[in-house]
Amino acid sequence: MITLNIYGNIEPTIISKKLGVGISNPPNDWIKGLQDDMLEEMLVHEHNLKVWGKREFKNSKLSNYDLAELVKKAKWNISHNSELEVIARNLVAIDVLDFENSYLQLKNDTMDSPTCEVSFPLKFINFCNKIQNSSKGKDVLNKRIPFSTFSSDEFNEKPRILNFFRAILNSQLDFENYNKECMSSLVKVGALIDDFLQKEEDFWILDYIINSMYHDRDYNAYHVFKVMSLIEMLIINPSGNGKLVGELERKLPQFLNGTRIDITKKVTFAEIMRKLRNKIAHGDYKAMQQLLQIYRDEFMVNYVFDEFEHSIENWTYLNICCRLDEVLNEIVWELITNKNQLRALQYA
């Protein structure tokens, strides 16, 4: 069960017909379990408040969850149900609602998400959140792709369903309108994905990218290598036998519009990334350090390195990874919205 930060009673809605992914309220057999998860969250939150109080951490905004107040703000009818049950029934979950007609059967004809793997809907919503940050994606999707608030498969994560629910109710957003906009944006991105999926090969490319882009908190040399490999896969001519010199410098700068890289230094950025990726691949740690210093001299001149938080090396990787993620978002958005043009660039 993957819940999102949108709420209310909705009709089951297919987002992507070709993947079978959709959103709906939780099935009846999940309602009791979700209430237990929220009870756990309340107990942990109450304990944390006591710990913070002992440490004299005072903040008037921190308080126990007032379930009656939350339901009242959401304008939901309690009727004969408890507040917890009302909230559980008005959660919105993302799932594979139509596996029988999904391309996911190409991977596994038994189920969409094998139990020992990260669920596909979680990876899918993560992918949608990434590409909405591209410069063109922001305009089309209006930054209204919701995110996951709870996954029943992540046993080491504490539930934060009520935390996100209270946060959105206390925000300045129009609650009902926000939910409608989010569902509209999900349907839009699903339509783009369905339009992209014209043949089996398209599915395998998309699935590979979705898996590769799935939540990666480690911003380090290996993240650089992974993202650069994806970028090369999508924009470098495969008939070049791995020769990137000149081609990467010519093509990658076209996707730096959504980044903070100065227009006069785009080619320099691409050149450093090409060299860094190669040195990481070959384990040339001395050359890697030299390239990181060149990068700092070019792109982090006025950067404040707080070495209590990260080493200077890791601050550099963090900066590089953020820029590369932005580039990848731009390229993948182009892939699902204009794959013929991207293919022409790749073979140019």
Number of domains in the chain: 2
Residues in CB range of 115: below 8 A, 6 or more apart: none
Whether residues 204 and 221 fall in one domain: no
Whether residues 109 and 185 fall in one domain: yes
- Picking from 211, 245, 277, the residue at the C-terminal end of a domain is 211
Q: What is the pLDDT along the chain (348 residues), one digit of tens a residue?
A: 999 999 999 999 999 999 999 999 999 999 999 999 999 999 999 998 888 777 766 555 667 899 999 999 999 988 878 999 999 999 999 999 999 999 999 999 999 998 899 999 999 999 999 999 999 999 999 999 999 999 988 878 889 999 999 999 999 899 999 999 999 999 999 999 999 999 999 999 999 999 999 977 789 999 999 999 999 999 999 887 667 788 999 999 999 975 678 888 999 999 999 999 999 999 999 999 999 999 999 999 999 999 999 999 999 999 999 999 999 999 999 999 999 999 999 998
Residues in CB range of 248: below 8 A, 6 or more apart: 232, 235, 236, 270, 271, 273, 274
Two tokens at 256? 């730096």
**3-state DSSP helix/strand/coil % of the chain, to nearest 5:** 60, 5, 35
Q: Give CA–CA dist 225/216, Å, rounded.
A: 13
Taking only Cα atoms into account, the Rg of the chain, rounded to an integer number of angstroms, comes to 23
Whether residues 105 and 189 fall in one domain: yes
Whether residues 303 and 196 fall in one domain: no
Q: Which amino acid is at 25?
A: N
Whether residues 258 and 144 fall in one domain: no
* DSSP 3-state of 270: helix
pLDDT of the residue at 242? 63
pLDDT of the residue at 48? 87
Q: Give CA–CA dist 156/6, Å, rounded.
A: 23
Two tokens at 113? 């998400």
Beta strand 2-7 with 148-151 is antiparallel
DSSP 186-222: HHHHHHHHHHH--SHHHHHHHHHHHHHHS-----SHH
pLDDT of the residue at 185? 97
Q: Give CA–CA dist 294/33, Å, rounded.
A: 53
Beta-carbon-side half-sphere exposure of residue 85 (alpha carbons within 13 Å): 9
Whether residues 182 and 153 fall in one domain: yes
pLDDT of the residue at 4? 97
pLDDT of the residue at 320? 97
Whether residues 164 and 248 fall in one domain: no
Whether residues 10 and 39 fall in one domain: yes
Whether residues 31 and 57 fall in one domain: yes
Domain carrying residue 278: 217-347
- Picking from 193, 211, 229, the residue at the C-terminal end of a domain is 211
Whether residues 62 and 202 fall in one domain: yes
pLDDT of the residue at 115? 87
pLDDT of the residue at 244? 74
- Picking from 149, 178, 211, the residue at the C-terminal end of a domain is 211
Whether residues 17 and 148 fall in one domain: yes
Whether residues 144 and 262 fall in one domain: no
